[in-house]
A = this chain, B = another copy of it.
Amino acid sequence: MTVLLADRYPNFSICGLPYFLSGDVPDWRSLAHRTIDELEQTGIELLLEHTAEHIDALAQIVTVKTPERSEQRLRYDTLIVATGAEAARPSVPGIDRSGVYQLHTIGDSLTLNAALTNEPEKGVIVGAGYIGLEMAEALRARGLHVTVLEQLPTVLPTVDPQFGSLVRAELERNGVDVINGATVQAIDARAGRLAVCADPDVTIEADIVLVVVGVKPDAKLGRAAGIETGTRGALKVNRRMETNLPHVFAAGDCVVTHHRLLNTDAYLPLGTTAHKQGRVAGENAVGGDRSFEGSLGTQVVKVFELAIARTGLRNDEAAAAGLEPLTIESHGFDHKAYYPGAHTIVMRLTGEQGSGRLLGAQLLGHLDAQVPKRIDITATALHHGMTVDELNNLDLSYTPPFGSPWDVIQHGAQEWARASRTLARG
């Protein structure tokens, strides 16, 4: 088994890059899920710095550019295309200036880390998604003044604006300046510094600018070989992760993802999904028979002392899919309030009116409040198509230091059911 790798960093946890840059992870090498030695011991042949340039699906040959810039032709029985995503870059003047960074690869982070060792004073982060906010925290930890610029009206637009406001407050509490509703127009150079110019009229001086405005599938190789593409230009695959080309599978951030609730293709580039799809593709490529059971878009992010998580559909997403959703916000303690250290968790639960079917949940609370694994309980319920009311039947654990006889999720389910009944009565 041969793995072709364009860079020199196989099986690295790129979700960990902000924690290397913050200083939490002193050595970037520890970001490897498995080391090169460990990988090679499993019998995998790793070809580092080999770029796949062309797939001839008829002849079953991949043409590769070697580190020496020569061409090599590799025959395959089965091929898995896992070219991932690339960082989106707004096409504004100055985006290629020195001092403007992106963060998608180990290489990107080494470059940015080198810049940080020069002790810049002021950083501007363009984009208030997951990586933007994680990097706001990282740059604060490195002692920078930080401004986050986001063109949408709230930060963390993957969750409801109500949560966005709470996250913005947490950023500000930790000394991060946040500007919402501002679109970058240009990045100028002025007196040895950078100046980020945005519309409506705002200019922010900076020593470094980090542009993290999302990703898009890196589908060029597959598309050129004749693999059909779908939503957002990602490679089309079925649930066995087969493309339309014989003997060619694809997986990860370069492919469309089956959405378990919507029963449609979506583009959901998440590490968890990529791992699952890779496992399915790998097993099937060697004669197995495994099916990707779909994504619920479950995700979580840490922003300073907050954990923010979601699974399934938000109200607007469900409505866009033609459903009749109802979203109810509730508040509860992570454990019995009488036991020291109780934290409030805010829950936004979305269910379908009429059927009562659970559609999704968003949770926000202190990083010690077991928010991530609580969203996972909800994701497991969603996986099985439970109704909101049925959440109350789940036999969840309880002891005062860790929970309540009705978990905050079940408490939220009861509030939702009450609101839904009130609404139904008119």
> Smallest Cβ distance from A409 to chain B, in angstroms?
9
> Smallest Cβ distance from A108 to chain B, in angstroms?
17
Within 8 A of B (CB), among A358-390: 367-368, 370, 372-377, 379-381, 383-384, 390
> Which of A311, A337, A373 gathers the greatest number of chain B CB atoms within 10 Å?
A373
Is A24 an interface position by the 8 A CB rule?
yes
Is A25 an interface position by the 8 A CB rule?
yes
A271, closest chain B residue (CB): B405
Determine, out of A76-84, A243-251, A298-306, A318-326, the stretch whose residues face the partner at the interface.
A298-306
Q: Is the CB of B397 within 8 A of A24?
A: no
Known: A373-B376, A380-B394. A275 touches B406 (CB 8 A): yes
A380, closest chain B residue (CB): B380
Is A212 an interface position by the 8 A CB rule?
no
Q: Is the CB of B392 within 8 A of A276?
A: yes
| Cα–Cα distance between A392 and B372 once the two chains are bound (Å) | 17
| Cα–Cα distance between A273 and B398 once the two chains are bound (Å) | 10
- Residue numbers in B under 8 Å from A397 (CB-CB): 272, 298-300, 309, 311, 372-373, 375-376, 379
Is A279 an interface position by the 8 A CB rule?
yes
Is A9 an interface position by the 8 A CB rule?
no
| Cα–Cα distance between A270 and B398 once the two chains are bound (Å) | 9
| Cα–Cα distance between A275 and B410 once the two chains are bound (Å) | 12
Is A30 an interface position by the 8 A CB rule?
yes
Is A396 an interface position by the 8 A CB rule?
yes
Is A351 an interface position by the 8 A CB rule?
no
> Smallest Cβ distance from A309 to chain B, in angstroms?
5
A268, closest chain B residue (CB): B395
- Residue numbers in B under 8 Å from A302 (CB-CB): 399, 401-402
- Residue numbers in B under 8 Å from A270 (CB-CB): 398
Q: Is the CB of B272 within 8 A of A395?
A: yes
Within 8 A of B (CB), among A249-282: 260, 270-276, 279
> Smallest Cβ distance from A282 to chain B, in angstroms?
13
6 closest A-B pairs by beta carbon, nearest first, are A373-B373, A293-B393, A300-B397, A372-B402, A380-B380, A30-B338
15 chain-A/chain-B pairs, Cβ below 8 angstroms: A15-B400, A33-B405, A260-B395, A272-B397, A275-B406, A276-B395, A300-B398, A300-B399, A302-B399, A311-B397, A367-B402, A368-B368, A370-B372, A379-B395, A379-B397
